Amino acid sequence: MSVHLTDADARFARTVERRFRERIGLEPVIATFLGIHDHDAEMHSASREQVEALTAFHRATVDEMERFTADELSADHRLDRDLAIHQSRLALHELTERRSWEKRAGAAEEIGEALFPLFTRDFAPFDERLASIAGRLEAAPQLLAEAQQRVTDPVRLWAEIDIESCEALPAFLDTIVSAAASDSSDAALARRLRAAADATRTALDAHLAWLRDKVLPRAAAGWSAGPEQFEEIVRLRELEASGDEILAVGEQMLADATAARDAVCAEIDPTLTPAEVADLVKNDHADTFVEALDDYRSTMDAARAFVVEHELATLPDEDHLNVVETPSFLRHLIPFAAYYEPAKFDPVPVGTYIVTPPATPGMMREHSRAAISNTSVHEAYPGHHLQLSAATTNPSLVRLFSDSPEFAEGWAFYCERMMKEAGFDDTPTGWYVVHTDAIWRACRILLDVRLHRGQIGLDDAVDFLQARTGFERHAALAEVKRYTSTPAYQLSYLYGRHMIERLRADVERSLGAAFTPRGFHDTLLYGGTMPVSYARRLFEEMDR
C-alpha cells in the first residue's frame, strides 16, 4: 500500500526531530539508554529549574502538535501526533499536579540508573565508558544537593526508601572502581574515577545525614494519590475503564486464578494442601544463585526457540540479550527480576535481563525452576525483550518515549498464558506458576486501586499480598513499597493482558480465517510501544 506524504507530513517530521533533540538534551541519561552517546559524560539536573524546563517542554509539545490537524497527516503521523500529546499530558500531570519531585529526592537511584548503562553495555571501549562514568560521578554531588533543595513536602516512606538506596549505592560504586583498577589501560583515568567515586560517597554520607536528621522528622505519612487524582491518572492513561471497572476485573480475575490454581494443586498431588504444593514447587531450585542464573539463560534460550518453531512471532534481525545480577542499588526495590530494553541507536542493541540474588536463604525458593521458566517468558521471549527489541525497529521517534505500561507489562503477562496454551512448559507445575503469578497480578490491581484510594494501609497490603501469593515477607514488602510511588502502574500487568486479549478477540472476529497469531503479534510488536487503545488503530488502518 503506497502512502502519500504531504507538506504537513514533512513539517511534522521536522518538528518531531527538533523536539526529540531538545528532550535528550534536557535528559542526557535518556539519551544514553537510547544509544545516543553525545551526552554520556553529563548528568541531568535535579533542580526546580529542571522541573520548570521539562514543564515548558511538554506544554510546548502539546501546543505544537495541536497545530497539526488529523486530516492533513498520514496515518502514521496522525497516530504519532496523538501519542505525543498523550505523553506530554501525562508528564504534565506528574510535573504540575502530582508533583512527586517535591516529595522525594530519589537521587541515589537516579545516580545508579545514570551509571548502569555505561557500565553494563559494551557499546564502546571500556576506558571510553569509564571516562563517561567519571564525568557523571563528578556531577553526582551537585545532583544530590539539587535534590535536597527541591524536596519541600517529603513523604516518610519514600525517605526511608531513599535511605536504603543511599546505603546500597556504594557497593555498585565499589564494583565499578574495582573493574577500572583491574581492566583499565589508563592509570590516570582509574585514579580520576576513584576520586570521583570517593567524592560521591562523601556526598552520599551527607545526603544520608540530611535524610535522617532533616527529612524524617518533618516527613508526612501520606503517600497515596487519593481517589480523585487516581481516577484522573486512569483517565489520562486512556485505559478505557474507570477505577471501579478495573477493580471489578481484578476481583474476578483473582477468583478465577485462585480456583484454577486450586485445581492444578489437586492435579499435582491431591494428598497435599495448597501450601504443601507451594513448598513442593518452590523447593525445586538450584543449589546456588550462580546455577540459578544458568537456569535462567537455558530456559530463555528454550523459549526463544519455541517462539520461532511455532511461528508465534517474527524475531528482529538484531536480537541480543544478556542475563546479569541486579545491581546492588536496585535490589531493595526489585525482589525478583526486571528488564532493560536495548538501545535503539547502539550499533549492536543489547537487552539486559537482571535477576536479583536472594537476600535471605529462603529467597532461593523464589528462583524455583518452574518460576524461572515463567519469568523468562515474561522478561525475555516472547515478553519484554522481544516486544521492546521489535519496537526499537519502528522509525517513529515519538514511540520511543511512549509511556504505556498496560501495553508493555500487559504484553509480557499476556505471553505467560499464551505460551502455555501453545505448549511451552505445559506441565502442572508450569501452570501452577502461571496461576500463582496471575493471583499476584490480580492482587496488584486490587492493591494499586485500594492503596491510592486510601482504602488499605501499607502493612495490611503486605499481609494481603503474602497471604494470597505465598511470597516471602521480604519480597512482599519490597513489592508494596514499589506500589506506593507509582499509582495506576501496577494494575497494568493483568489489566493490560485483559485489554490485549480483548483486542485479539476483536481482530480475530474481523479477520476470520485470515487471522494468525503471528500476524496479530507482529502488528503489535513492530508498531511500537503505545497504549492498547492506540494500538487498536494499527489494525483499523489495515482494514482500509
Structure confidence at residue 543 as a pLDDT band (50, 70, 90) = low
Burial class (CB in 10 A: 0-12, 13-18, 19+), 286: middle
Structure confidence at residue 332 as a pLDDT band (50, 70, 90) = low
Domain ranges (residues) in the chain: 7-218, 228-498
- pLDDT of 52 over the 90 cut: yes
- pLDDT of 2 over the 50 cut: no
- pLDDT of 262 over the 50 cut: yes
Q: So what's the pLDDT on residue 1? A: 42
Grid-cell match 483517565, residue found: 235
Give Cα 487 to chain centroid, integer Å. 14
Of residues 538 and 331, which shows the higher confidence score?
538
Taking phi over 0 as left and psi of -120 to 50 as alpha, with beta for the rest, 394 belongs to beta
* Tens digit of each residue's pLDDT (9 = 90 or more) over 486-536: 999 999 999 999 999 999 999 999 999 999 999 999 999 999 999 999 999
Phi, psi of 323 (to 5 degrees): -110, 120
- pLDDT of 429 over the 60 cut: yes
Going by the DSSP 8-state scheme, the letter that residue 155 receives in this structure is B
Structure confidence at residue 336 as a pLDDT band (50, 70, 90) = confident
Rounded Cα distance between 44 and 111, Å, is: 10
Section 391-404 average pLDDT:
91
Rounded Cα distance between 510 and 500, Å, is: 15
Section 419-434 average pLDDT:
96
Q: Residue 484 forms beta bridges with which residues?
A: none
Which among 99, 192, 199 has a CA at the least distance from the CA of 144? 199
Residue pair 234/529 in contact (Cβ under 8 Å)? The answer is no
* Tens digit of each residue's pLDDT (9 = 90 or more) over 265-316: 999 999 999 889 999 999 999 999 889 999 999 999 999 999 999 999 999 9
Residue pair 377/383 in contact (Cβ under 8 Å)? The answer is yes
- pLDDT of 222 over the 90 cut: no
* Residues above pLDDT 90, as percent of the chain: 82
- pLDDT of 340 over the 90 cut: no
- pLDDT of 241 over the 60 cut: yes
Q: Which three cell numbers stand for residue 405?
A: 505500561
Residues 209/215/221/227 CA torsion (nearest 10 deg): -120
CA distances from 276 to 7, 238, 279, 283, 368 (A): 67, 42, 5, 10, 15
Residue pair 414/355 in contact (Cβ under 8 Å)? The answer is no
Rounded Cα distance between 126 and 145, Å, is: 29
Section 16-22 average pLDDT:
96
The number of C-alpha atoms within 13 Å of 304 and in the hemisphere containing its C-beta is 17
